[in-house]
Amino acid sequence: MSGELRSSTKPSTCLLSHQGKCLKEHLRKVTELIEYYFPLEKEFLELAKTVAKFHDLGKATFYFQRYLKGEKVNTKLKEHSLLSALFLYIY
């Protein structure tokens, strides 16, 4: 398995995680990489996979998407880590 995270969906039709990379595909690939590279006991593997699925979910905001498109966005409004952590906590 390659460590490269490529998107099979056109970036112009999806929420992005990075420039040119679809968020949904990125989260799926990171989850797969966790499974592949970290031979954990089942309970820890499930926890790690859940964290991987949520780790960048905060990038789905309007502000972060504008930032990825090169628009000037307030630094605090484009922050995604705390929001991602809150989504995980609520889950």
Contact 59, 23 (CB under 8 A): yes
Residue-level pLDDT at 4: 47
Are the CB atoms for 84 and 55 separated by under 8 Å?
yes
Number of Cα atoms under 13 Å in the Cβ half of residue 57? 18
Consecutive sets of 10 residues in the chain, 91 residues long: mean pLDDT of each?
Answer: 51 89 97 93 94 97 96 96 97 94
The pLDDT value recorded for residue 7 is 46
What is the number of alpha carbons within 13 Å of residue 85 lying toward its C-beta? 4
pLDDT of residue 11: 66
pLDDT value at residue 10? 65
pTM of the model: 0.81
User: In terms of Cα–Cα distance, which of 49, 62, 72 is closest to 16?
Assistant: 62
Check residue 13 and give its pLDDT: 85
